[in-house]
Structure formats: structure tokens, C-alpha cells
Amino acid sequence: MKSHAKVVVIGGGVVGCSVLFHLARHGWTDVVLLERDELTSGSTWHAAGGMHTINGDPNVAKLQKYTISLYKEIEELSGQATGVHLTGGVLLAATEARLDWLRGVVAKGRYLGIDLEEISANEAAELMPLLDPKQFVGAVRNKEDGHLDPSGVTHAYAKAARKLGAEVERFTKVEDIVRRPDGMWRVITNKGEVVAEHVVNAGGLWAREVGRMVGLELPVLAMEHMYLITEDMPEVAAWNAKTGTEIIHAVDFDGELYLRQERGGMLMGTYEKANKVWSEFQTPWNFGHELLEPDIDRIAPSLEVGFRHFPAFERTGIKQIINGPFTFAPDGNPLVGPVRGLPGFWVACGVMAGFSQGGGVGLALSNWMIEGDPGADIWAMDVARYGDWATMAYTNAKVRENYSRRFSIRFPNEELPAGRQLKTTSIYDLLSAKGAQWGVSYGLEVPLWYAPAGVKDEFSWRRSSDFSHVANEVATVRESVGMAEISNFAKYKMTGEGAAAWLDRIFACKLPKPGRMTLAPMLKDDGKLIGDFTLANIGDGEWFIAGSGIAEQYHMRWFEAHLPADSSVRMEALGQTLTGLAIAGPKAREVLAKVSRADVSNAGFPFMAVAKMDIGTAPCLVGRVSYTGDLGYEIWVAPEYQRAAFRALMAAGEEFGLGLFGSRALNALRLEKNYGSWAREYRPIYGPLEAGLDRFVAYGKDADFIGKTGALAERKQGGKLRLRTFILDADDADVIGDEPIWFDGAVRGWVTSGGYAHHSKKSVAIGYVPKEIADESDGFEIELLGKRHAARVQAAPLFDANFERMRA
């Protein structure tokens, strides 16, 4: 075994071998994979081997499509058969709600290049003869589903990597990982140690244990997962003889089942409600090519549905039940990327759909390591989407919930209960008493809307029970004054003698003067967006930054990676050591004036001003800015003073009709202003010109800010896309994101977010289209729940197009 390597990959499952292959294919051949046993030990060897392109996140779906297309290449390069069978498949709907969801999947496939087609239940039965069409209301045909040989694929990756110069060491157990003072990593094994610049944790079932070697507690958990293999079935033999093809895959969402042919019989797997955690606290190192004891009683309810939906199963015997552990993250997506605070330490774990996602994970991680960027928008898989709040107990609760709901519908207004009330602010009880209906953002409880007694969310794809109540909240803001809690924003404090110069380099905007704020795009090296913030110059060398709460870890990783080494800049993520309130509406200034001795007149405190002032008895930081697009103020306050500030504002606002509003009303309000949001409109695949943020980029400033060259090139060349707001002729539902935008009969773009703008009484969608058609007035349609609706570009904001209210 070599003593030095550029990269050590830990784990010889399909993900680790894919990472190794992609690194070698990119030209990094001084790489070695360490596997404590044989390749495929752990979860890979007993996987059902299914592969599919469908995913809830379109960017992950693109990587899944890449993964499937890769198998031919690695088979040819390695000479190792992968056993790929591209049979195609059907996704089945037993309810109209499920069929609505599948229609959304078909629509998403249109701009992803995934060949999907809605078909009837009878047509599905003609393709998959074992199903009873009377049990279903419709289906979707997917031509790119299939299955493979898990061992063959894993060894193909490994052999291909070896041919490219990489090394694989089997029976080499990693016992510790130690970071040296020079930043290199000592990977200590039972056969000696390897010093490496980079370490990749692709440990699978042992990812937690590998993470703990460097002080990291990863939010992953293994679940027992069962599938059965039947005896040979005459129906299968008859179909094979008649058509010369295998029986295609089937996913029965409402039965929580997936099925495919296995030799002369069938394989049926289930994500049962009565699930079971495996090895909750620590994975035994001596576990390998072993299976767990089957428990058919636990999956019996799902099997009963399966036998009803697929009657031929009742007439055949079960040859084998496979029960083995697979790892999951709390939301079911992988954990991929560099770990904040551990330079050179990377993770690629929690990849439960390894044969659909493994190739994409390997590609993204190798790009990231070599080029400094994953080459794709992989936010849904980024390990930075979780913070320290994702404890072991939280992970346990969410993984169990996710597993039991893997095939369940998640409606756009549905909030899941597991792991809740983990983080709350000091006014949680006061807002609950006002009828707050809660969601969660980065672990923190967030008010969505306020319900009268006896009213609650009714989950639906269409406008639901909250619709009229959110409309009332919007009206309160537009007509008088509303108040919202905004503690879910990420907050950062910056000080030090080098802070101003560093901020001038990290942000593309012109720095504000003391007592002023500005909108601050942050760019990657290639000029694409990596963040959008509000930057405030408090004065006396102190800076305050507010941004997307879900991206706190993501952005701190970027900030810290670019901090100067001389300690001239001190940056702190404030988290919930600073909470927030916002007031907005035409009466907002009058409310603020009643609770503060400061001059908050338009002359004394103009738009984008910031200052420290008391709200009642509470010391606060107040900025005159509002995401509602109305006259408004953001108020930042230490948690111990939040109740006092809240009560003072409530009391002062009573005579002005102050009311509370939640994030759903805020969404309706920002849509009327054409305001985008991070992780929807603003993502690292879009440039500032494309996203409409170029007006905040100081192209001519002296500072050589990160991404300047790329941003200038985009401005010169014009980019490829444009972000546009559309008004669509909707029925009883509104877009939520990822719907296709049609132009002159062809899909040309996609929706990033939207909803109903209650004040303007319009259904609004925001999305990207090619720049060549971005300013066309006619010809657009947006597909929603299987129907194409006429849409028109709304260039000027629906509300306060001249920005008079917010600047008044």
C-alpha cells in the first residue's frame, strides 16, 4: 500500500468506486480506495438493483439520467459486465391526487429530456400484465427505468478506475484519521498509514464512524429494508415467450411497492410504515456480507395491497426474503461535498439510491475537488443543508418518517411532524396563541399563516383552506400594517481592520457607507451566483449581513474558505443569538415612531438606512427595507429582548390595525414585486445578468471581486437565460416550481417559484426562458396539473411599479 496519495477514498461500495473512477477519469490518478473487506460489502451487494431517472429535485434527476447513461461507458472501459436491463417502467396512481402528482412529474420531464408519457390504467396493464387495471386510475410510462447487477456495476467502476491509474486496497480497515499541522491528513489503517491531501468519506453503513474520526456527527441512519423474490411464475414465462422482453418495472406508490422481473419470477420491495432502524447508535465493524432476519409480519400490510393490485402474486410462492440495511439522510437525499471547517475532508454518503445516483455523485464530487465547483446545482444533496441541529435523535425521527413516506404524496402545503419544535424563538407561544400554523426552516419553527379557531391546513395540489386567510394577511399589509417574525434569516457579523477590503472582494456590489444598506450579490469564480444578501454598514468598523436561513452552513463554508490568513477579519454566524421581526405597510412608520425615540421620518431614516435604536425598552438594530415591497422595517433583536419588542409593537400597532402575517403571505407579497429568492430564482447555475441582479453588480469598482471576470463576460455575451415574471390564466391551482414554460408549442423554460398574488388577484409564476424569447408578449403557456395555461410576461411589478410606497 502506498504511503502518500492525493486522495484517499474510504469505502468500496458503488459510491466510493464511482468517486474513484471519476477522479481518475478527470486526470487525478494518484488516488487510492481503502475498503475494510471485499468491494460491495455493506449495503451494495444486497441492493435490489433498480435504477430510475425520476427525482423530486430536477437537478438530482439530471444526475440520475447521467448515472444511467454512464453504465455503457464503464462496461466498455473495464470489460466488466454491468448486467444493465433497460426495461422501462410504469409509475402507477391509485388515486386522483397521485395522478395529479404524476402529471407534474411528466411536465418536469419535458424540460429535463426524460421521456415520460401519461397513460391509462388499461394501457399500463398492456405493458405490465401482472397488474389489475381496476385498482388504478392512471399511470405514467417511463422508458428509462431498469435494473442491473449491483456487484457487476461496482466492480466495473473499480476496474475502470484501475485502468486509469487509480489503486484499490481491499481488506484495509481505516482505524483513525488525523489532520497534521500542515493541513494534510493521516489515514491510519490496519496495514499502516497513508498521508493524503484529500479524504473522501464514502463509508456507507460506516459513514458515521468515519465521520466521528474527525469529530463529525453526520445525520445518517441505517434502516432495515426488505424485498422478496418469488418462485417462477407462469405469467412471467408467458409474457417473455410472447414478447421476447422482460416484464417492465412498476412502482405502485399507493401500495408502497416496487416490482421488477427477477429471472423467471418477480422481485417485490416495500417501504413499510412499520419500519425498523438498524444499529441506531453505532455500526459494528464486523458486519459485512450478511443479511438480517426477515420479518414478513412487518411488511404484511404492504404485501396484502400488492397481492390485490397484482393478483398473480397470490398464486405463487416466495423463494427468498432479503432484509438488509441501507443508510438514509433525514430527507432521503445524499450527503455530498466538502465539510465546513475541515479543509480537504469530503463526504459522499447517505446515497440510498446508489445505482440511480452513484454516477452523478461521483461526477459532482470529482468536479468539486478538481475544479473547485461541482459543475451542477446539487443543493439538494449538499451536506451543508444541515447544521448542528440535525442531532442523532432528530435524524432518527426524520429518517423513520421519510422511509415510511417514501412513496407518499408530499403536498405543497404539507408540513411533516417528525423532529419538530426542535428550535423555537422566545415568542413561539405568543404566536401560537394567535393561531400560527408552523412550518420549519433549517430546524427553526416558522409561522406560515394564522388560522382562526377550528381551521387548519387541508393538504391539496389546489388552493386550500389557508387561501382566504392568507388573503386577509396580505390585505392587512397593503392597507395598514403587518408584522412577521423573520428569525429564520441567516445573520452574520463582520469586524476587523481588514473587513471592508475583504467584503469588497467577496461581494460584487458597491459597499454601503456607514448607516446604509445595500443588496449584495455574491459570485463564484465563474461569475455565477452563490448568494444574495443584504449588507449593512453599522459604522465603527462593524458590518451586518442577512441572507437565506437554509444556506447558513453553505455560505459560512464559502466565507471561511476565503477569509484572509492574517486574522484581520473576524466573521461570526449569529444564528439564533439574534432574532428578527418585520413590520410593513403604509402605517409601518407610524407604528415605529410610537415605540422609538429615534427620528424615523423619511428624511431622518430614508430607504435602505440602518441604525441601532430602542424599540420600547428593547435594544435593536433596525433597517429600512422590506421583502414585501412596501414601506417596511426589519428589526433585529437579541432573543432575550424579542418578547419585549414584540409586545411593544403589538401595543403600538393596535390603533393602526396591525395584524400578523406569515411566510405564505410574504410569498404572495414578494411575487407582486418580481422579487426572487435564494435556492429558487438565485442558484449557482445562473449569472447575475440572467437573474436580473446585474443592477447590483459594481462592474467598474476598483476591487477585483470574486467572479468579476465571469460577470463581465456574461454582460458582454448576454448570457443564455432571462428570469421573467408571468401572469397565467390559472383555474383553482397555482404553480409551486419546476413546471415547464411553453413557447409556440415547445417547452423552452421552467418555473422556479410562484403562487397567488392576493392583493393583485393574479396567479403568478417566476421562471427562466432563453433570452431570445424573454421579451415576447404572446405565445407563452405554463403547464400545471396536466393542462397548459396561457401566460403573459409581467415586466413591471404588479404592485408599486415606481417604488413610491417603499421609498415614501
- pLDDT above 90 (res 495): yes
CA dihedral 720, 67, 526, 111 (to 10 degrees): 20
Residue 118 bridge partners (DSSP): 140
pLDDT category of residue 223 using cuts at 50, 70 and 90: very high
Q: Taking 90 as the threshold, does the pLDDT of residue 260 lie above it?
A: yes
Which pLDDT band, with edges at 50, 70 and 90, does 1 fall under? Answer: confident
| Tens-digit pLDDT profile for residues 589-616 | 999 999 999 999 999 999 999 999 999 9
Distance CA 6, CA 198 (A): 6
The rounded mean pLDDT for the chain is 96
**CA 386, 457, 93, 223 torsion-angle sign:** positive
- Rg (Cα) of the chain, in Å, rounded? 27
> How many C-beta atoms lie closer than 10 Å to residue 189's C-beta?
19
How would DSSP label each residue in 292-333?
Answer: PPP-HHHHHHHHHHHHHHSGGGGGS-EEEEEEEEEEE-TTSS
Q: What are the distances in angstroms from CA 277 to CA 18, 191, 221, 283, 397?
A: 27, 33, 8, 12, 10
- Measured at the CA of 104, the angle between CA 100 and CA 110, to 5 degrees, comes to 145
Q: What is the pLDDT of residue 759?
A: 98
- Among 54-63, 134-143, 372-381, which stretch is predicted with the lowest mean pLDDT? 54-63
Q: Which of 333, 339, 14 is nearest to 198 (CA)?
A: 339
Strand ranges (E), 529-569: 529-539, 542-547
Candidates 28, 23, 345, 348; CA nearest to 183 is 345
Give kind and range of the element (H or E) at residue 557: helix 552-561
- Decide if 19 contacts 202 (C-beta within 8 A): yes
CA–CA gap between residue 632 and residue 588 (Å, rounded): 6
The Cα 493–Cα 575 span in angstroms is: 10
Element (H, E) at 781: strand 780-784
> What span, in angstroms and rounded, lies between the C-alpha atoms of 456 and 435?
9
Confidence of residue 54 (pLDDT cuts 50, 70, 90): confident
Amino acid at 72: K
The bridge status of strand 4-10 relative to strand 192-201 is parallel
In tens, the pLDDT along 686-718 reads 999 999 999 999 999 999 999 999 999 999 999
Has residue 500 got a pLDDT over 90? yes
Looking at residue 231, the DSSP 8-state letter turns out to be P
The pLDDT assigned to 771 comes to 98
DSSP lists the bridge partners of residue 250 as: 90, 259
Cell of 204: 456507507
Calculated CA dihedral for residues 352, 354, 358, 360, nearest 10 degrees = -60
Provide mean pLDDT across the span 99-121.
94
Above pLDDT 70, what percent of the chain? 100
What is the rounded distance in angstroms from the CA atom of residue 498 to the CA atom of residue 184? Answer: 28
Q: How far apart are CA 556 and CA 112, in angstroms?
A: 31
Q: What is the pLDDT of residue 277?
A: 97
Torsional sign, CA 645, 647, 653, 655: negative
Strands, E assignment, 548-650: 570-573, 579-584, 610-615, 618-623, 632-637
> In degrees rounded to 5, what are phi and psi of residue 541?
80, 10
pLDDT band at 55 (very low <50, low <70, confident <90, very high): confident
Point out the least confidently predicted range of 398-402, 456-460, 659-663.
456-460
The per-type count for the chain, helices as H runs and strands as E runs, is 20, 38
Residues with Cβ < 8 Å from 313, sequence gap 6 or more?
Answer: 130, 230, 266, 268, 303, 306, 307
* pLDDT of amino acid 797: 97
Q: Are 269 and 318 in contact (CB under 8 A)?
A: no
pLDDT of residue 783: 97
C-alpha cell at 69: 447513461
Question: In the 8-state DSSP scheme, what is residue 798?
Answer: S
pLDDT at position 659: 98
- CB environment 325-343: b (16+ within 10 A), e (fewer): bbbbbbbbbbbbbbbbebe
Please report which helix (H) or strand (E) contains residue 116, including its range: strand 116-119
In single-letter form, the type of residue at position 713 comes to A
Instruction: Give the H/E segment covering residue 267.
Output: strand 265-270
Element (H, E) at 492: strand 490-495
How big is the CA angle at 169 (ends 337 and 324), to the nearest 5 degrees? 65
Predicted pLDDT at 690: 98
CA trace torsion 14, 20, 22, 23 (10° rounding): 160
- Cβ contact 783:109 at 8 Å: no
> CB-based contacts of 309: which residues, under 8 Å, 6+ apart?
92, 94, 131, 132, 135, 136, 252, 255, 257
Bridge-based pairing of strands 482-485 and 659-660 is: parallel
What confidence category does residue 139 fall into, taking pLDDT thresholds of 50, 70 and 90? very high
- Please check the confidence at residue 237 and state whether its pLDDT lies above 90: yes
Name the region of 350 (left: φ>0; alpha: ψ -120 to 50; beta: rest).
left
Query: Sorting pLDDT into bands at 50, 70 and 90, what band is 777?
Result: confident
- Residue 658: name the closest of 720, 608, 581, 591 by CA: 591
Residues 6+ apart with CB under 8 A from 441: 488, 549, 550
Residue 792 has pLDDT above 90, yes or no: yes
pLDDT computed for residue 288 by the predictor: 84
Q: For residue 705, which of 497, 524, 488, 460 has the smallest C-alpha distance?
A: 524
Q: Are 666 and 478 in contact (CB under 8 A)?
A: no
31-34 vs 4-10, strand pairing mode: parallel
Instruction: Enumerate the β-bridge partners of residue 669.
Output: none
| pLDDT (0 to 100) of residue 506 | 98
Q: In the prediction, which pLDDT does 166 show?
A: 98
